[in-house]
Structures are given as structure tokens and as C-alpha cells.
Amino acid sequence: MFLDAAWTTISATLTYRNEGSFRYAALQQVGYENKQNIWRGRLKMAKKSQEQLPRQRIIKAARKLFDAKGFHATTTAELATEAAVSIGQIYRLFENKDDVIIALVEENTQARIAKMHAIFSAVEQDGHSVFEAIKAIAKDSIIKSDGGLSFEILAEACRNASVADRLNALVVCYRDGVRRLAALTRPDATAGELEAYVEIMMACFFGLGHRTLIAPASDVDKISHETACLLMRALGAPDQPAPPPS
């Protein structure tokens, strides 16, 4: 009877140990697979990052060189040297030099569209005034001017249909946003009046961006404020929003 009890205890212990070992091994396997998945994800992200780094360096170098020397005066060899890549790598990432300037336009487009959407959302959802929005756009136009590069892009758009298409996408989005602001300020305006307001505002914003080529803005806040006041008057609205009721 004693031996039976002892054997039962030993069997239960062995079973527990075996099951425990099995569970431990299973947990080890799960942990190993999870680690493998994590590392695969990290390797994929690292590979993607490595692929993007040369491309971003080329775009950054192009922005600098095209602005300083001009698009056509900049050679592919100079671009490769500035970006610390080989000429072959440029042609692996871009079909030709035209594709580089298209990438610049796309980068500018994405940045400007994101900025404009943030400004419009602030007006339509957060209760910010149109005056504040116009001032923000004016300020952004002055600060984020590309200088001579913008003229290089415009000139290339006249010669290259692909560049013109990308640039047109930026202008259309920009114009739609300005029209939204004008419509919020003057909901009573006719379609023709609204288009006239949009033309005036667009000319002003683009002009502010090009102004820095002639004379850098000494007081960005003051200029953007005065610009907003002027455009609000052109829209037939108060210079500044009325203070909230006390």
C-alpha cells in the first residue's frame, strides 16, 4: 500500500514536470516566434529607411544646387557629389534629372497641402477667425519661400508637362483653400465676386513668397498682420475679428 502511494506520488510529479516542461517549451517557442516577427519588422523598416536615405539626400542636394546654380546648370555629377551618392544610384532612384525636380515639387506640394489643411481645420472646427487664417498663410508664404528655386520650378513647368502637372495639383489645392476662406468671409458674394477675391488673395500670397528675392522680410509678424488687414478690407470685412462677448 505504501509502495502504491509512493508510485502515485512519483507519477504525478513526473506528469507535472513533463507538462511543465512542455508548457515552458511552448512558451519558449512562442517567444522565439514573436522575437523573429519583431526582428523581421525591424529589418524591413531598416531596409526601407536605407532606401529612403539616399533619395532624401538627393532631393535635399537638388534643392540646394538648383536654387544656387539653376536646374540646367547643375550637372548630375555635382548632384551626386553633394548628395554623397554615386551617379548610378541617382539613375536607379530617378529616371532622369527631370524626375528630381518633380520630386521637389511633390515634396513642396505635400508640405503646403498639409499646412493649408491644418489652417482650414482650425477655422472650420476650432473657431479660429478667417483673419488669423489669412495671417497664418501670409506668414507661411514669407517664411517658407524657396527663393530662386521657385522660379526654376516655374520655368521648368513651362518646358516639362510632368512638372506642370505636379505644380498644377499644388495650385488647385491652394486655390480651393483660399476660396473656402473667401466664402467664409463673404457668404453673400456671387460666384464672379468670389473668383475675383480668390485671384487677389492668390496674387498676394504668391507675391509674398517671391518678395524675399528682392528684399528679405525684416518683420515677418508685422508684414503678415498688415497683409491680413489689407485682404480683409478687400473682402469687405473688418480688419480684425470682433472680440468675444464678455
Burial (0-12, 13-18, 19+ Cβ within 10 Å), 52: exposed
**Residue 125, pLDDT score:** 78
Short-list 192, 66, 217, CA closest to 141: 217
Short-list 68, 61, 145, 146, CA closest to 97: 61
Q: What CATH number should be reported for the domain whose range is 97-234?
A: 1.10.357.10
C-alpha cell at 78: 555635382
Centre a 10 Å sphere on the Cβ of residue 165 and count the other Cβ atoms it contains. 12
Task: Judge whether residue 20 has pLDDT over 70.
Answer: no
Give the pLDDT confidence of 192-226 residue by residue, as tens digits: 999 999 999 999 988 887 776 676 667 888 989 99
- Assign 244 a pLDDT band (cuts: 50, 70, 90): very low
Are 148 and 64 within 8 A, CB to CB? no
Give the pLDDT confidence of 79-117 residue by residue, as tens digits: 999 999 999 999 999 998 888 988 888 887 788 778 877
- Assign 141 a pLDDT band (cuts: 50, 70, 90): confident
Q: DSSP 3-state assignment of 214?
A: helix
Q: Where are the domains of the chain?
A: 9-82, 97-234
